[in-house]
């Protein structure tokens, strides 16, 4: 793969594009909603409703500003957009409900609001996590149902028992259909999330699998092309892992792989991600890291691994470190990391290897990446 052709786009790259698409979509929705807000404001003489529309306009303008600000995360935009929309619909419906003077007016308000409540439920499952969405949807629907019953019971002419029974049956049937729809949405969303985790996670260690690490590499590569920066990788291989399996059995070898993954994840924290590259080989991705920083991390991993007490005795690994060079593909980067790993094994294992030529080039800390001509 060369830098002249775009690499295949992985999961992280797709998520980045999806976030960008969502921003544009939410921006379009907010802009398209402004005329409706204006119509709602000028079509009512009620001061309370006018104030509600003003608050809706302010919140919508804030949402537009958030969408235009790249530093605001898409999750924050979604949560804010959902809750202010839900509060506006509930407030407007509650006010209209208690202004109603008879049973027909009450039912008209509720039926008018029901479609908006269904929309809120759908928005919840798009914008929020499953549990929060279910709670929010039930809260909105339950609130309107309770307010509707309270209003009916407080009217000067209280409905007869059969009338009230029919009204409650109608409302509860709508609630039952809504609950069933919510459950199906929640179940579907959870199943999709589980399948996504399974497809991107190594089942033994819980680390990212090779497919996911390929996607992460390509996603980081795409980011580096636009931001003119580098990132580091550490490719490592457990020393004499076959001997561990031969002496202690494959179950003991599996435990070593699991413990090693935990050691590395704890050591890296938020500085990088760990993936099982294959067998006893692991790949560590270090976004924004210079070559010197990547080497420091590799040395720290080697030290922490040596300190950990495995049941099979001391476990060591060999490390190959590399950083992305200008005009280089991810395949080129991984080839150099693999060469460095092979060199570490030939040099006695339990060591960090980095080519002197590359280290010299990165003395500039990637400040002028186009100044050096790489063969």
Low-confidence winner among 3-7, 45-49, 311-315 (lowest mean pLDDT): 3-7
The Cα–Cα gap between 90 and 100 comes to 15
What is the distance, to the nearest Å, from the Cα of residue 236 to the centroid of all Cα atoms in its chain? 28
More confident residue, 100 or 272: 272
Q: Which residues contact 166 (CB under 8 A, 6 or more apart)?
A: none
- For residue 100, pLDDT over 70 is answered with yes
Residue 215 has what pLDDT? 85
Higher pLDDT, 94 or 178: 94
- The whole-angstrom separation of Cα 368 and Cα 176 is 64
Integer Cα distance of 71 and 130 in angstroms: 25
Q: Regarding beta strands 281-287 and 317-323, do their DSSP bridges make them parallel or antiparallel, or are they unpaired?
A: unpaired
pLDDT of 16: 60
- Give the least confident one: 8-17, 18-27, 249-258: 8-17
Q: What mean pLDDT value characterizes the chain? A: 79
Q: For residue 94, how many other CB atoms are within 10 A of its CB?
A: 17
DSSP state of 228: T
Which CA distances in Å does 366 have to 4, 233, 282, 325? 21, 15, 26, 9
Helix, strand, or coil here: 39? Answer: helix
pLDDT, tens only, 279-296: 899 999 999 888 999 999
Cα distance between residue 121 and residue 133, in whole Å: 7
The reported pLDDT for the residue numbered 340 is 93
pLDDT in tens, 105-122: 766 776 667 667 777 777
Separation CA 328–CA 254 (nearest Å): 35
The dihedral over CA atoms of 287, 289, 294, 300, expressed in degrees to the nearest 10, equals -80
Report pLDDT for 181.
66
Q: 24 near 64, Cβ under 8 Å? A: no
pLDDT for res 92 = 83
pLDDT tens digits, one per residue of 163-205 = 666 666 666 666 666 666 666 766 676 667 666 666 778 888 8
Task: Tell me how far apart the alpha carbons of residues 140 and 155 are, in angstroms, rounded to a whole number.
Answer: 23
For residues 361 and 374, the answer to whether their CB atoms sit within 8 Å is yes
Could you tell me which residue, 166 or 237, shows the higher pLDDT?
237
> Strand 281-287 relative to strand 231-238: parallel, antiparallel, unpaired?
antiparallel
- Spatial separation of the C-alpha atoms in residues 131 and 135, rounded to whole Å: 6
Please give the sequence-ordered ranges of beta strands (E in DSSP) within 193-307, or none if there are none. 231-238, 273-278, 281-287
| pLDDT bucket at 11, cuts 50 / 70 / 90 | very low
* Res. 271 pLDDT band, cuts 50 70 90: confident
Stretch among 69-73, 230-234, 273-277, 298-302 having the lowest mean pLDDT: 69-73
Q: How many helices (H) and strands (E) does the chain have?
A: 12, 5
Helices 74-99 and 47-68, packing angle to 10 deg:
170
The answer to whether residue 62 scores a pLDDT higher than 50 is yes
**What separation in angstroms does the CA of 295 have from each of 55, 264, 352, 367?**
53, 15, 7, 18
Reported as a pLDDT band with limits 50, 70 and 90, residue 319 is: very high
Q: What is the mean pLDDT of residues 83-102?
A: 82
Say if residues 361 and 325 touch (Cβ distance below 8 Å).
Answer: yes
Residue 353 bridge partners (DSSP): 320
Strand partners, 238: 317
Decide if 275 contacts 213 (C-beta within 8 A). Answer: yes
Stronger pLDDT, 217 or 158, i.e. the higher one: 217
Strands in 352-353's sheet, in edge-to-edge order, are 273-278, 281-287, 231-238, 317-323, 352-353
């Amino acid at each position: 793969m060369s830098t002249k052709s775009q690499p295949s786009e992985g999961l992280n790259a797709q998520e980045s594009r999806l976030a960008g698409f969502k921003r544009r979509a939410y921006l379009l929705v907010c802009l398209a909603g402004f005329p409706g807000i204006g119509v709602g404001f000028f079509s009512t003489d009620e001061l309370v409703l006018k104030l509600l529309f003003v608050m809706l306009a302010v919140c919508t303008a804030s949402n537009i500003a958030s969408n235009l600000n790249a530093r605001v995360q898409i999750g924050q935009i979604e949560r804010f957009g959902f809750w202010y929309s839900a509060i506006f619909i509930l407030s407007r419906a509650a006010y209209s409900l208690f202004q109603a003077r008879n049973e027909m007016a009450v039912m008209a308000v509720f039926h008018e609001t029901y479609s908006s409540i269904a929309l809120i439920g759908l928005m919840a499952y798009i914008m929020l996590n499953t549990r929060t969405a279910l709670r929010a949807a039930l809260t909105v629907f339950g609130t309107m149902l309770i307010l509707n019953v309270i209003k009916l019971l407080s009217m000067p002419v209280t409905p007869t028992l059969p009338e009230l029974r029919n009204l409650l049956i109608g409302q509860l049937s709508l609630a039952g259909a809504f609950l069933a729809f919510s459950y199906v949405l929640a179940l579907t969303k959870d199943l999709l999330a589980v399948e996504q985790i399974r497809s991107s996670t190594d089942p033994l260690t819980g680390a990212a699998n090779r497919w996911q690490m390929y996607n992460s590499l390509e996603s980081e590569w795409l980011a580096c092309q636009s931001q003119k920066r580098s990132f580091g990788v550490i490719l490592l291989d457990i020393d004499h892992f076959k001997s561990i399996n031969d002496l202690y059995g494959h179950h003991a070898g599996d435990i070593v792989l699991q413990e090693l993954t935990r050691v590395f994840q704890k050591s890296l924290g938020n500085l990088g991600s760990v993936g099982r590259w294959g067998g006893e080989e692991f790949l560590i991705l270090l976004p924004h890291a210079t070559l010197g920083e990547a080497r420091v991390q590799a040395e720290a991993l080697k030290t922490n691994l040596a300190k950990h007490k495995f049941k099979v005795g001391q476990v060591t690994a060999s490390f190959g470190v590399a950083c992305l060079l200008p005009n280089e593909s991810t395949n080129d980067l991984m080839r150099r990391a693999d060469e460095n790993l092979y060199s570490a094994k030939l040099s006695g294992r339990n060591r960090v290897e980095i080519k002197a030529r590359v280290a010299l080039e990165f003395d500039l800390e990637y400040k002028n990446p186009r100044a050096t001509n790489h063969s």
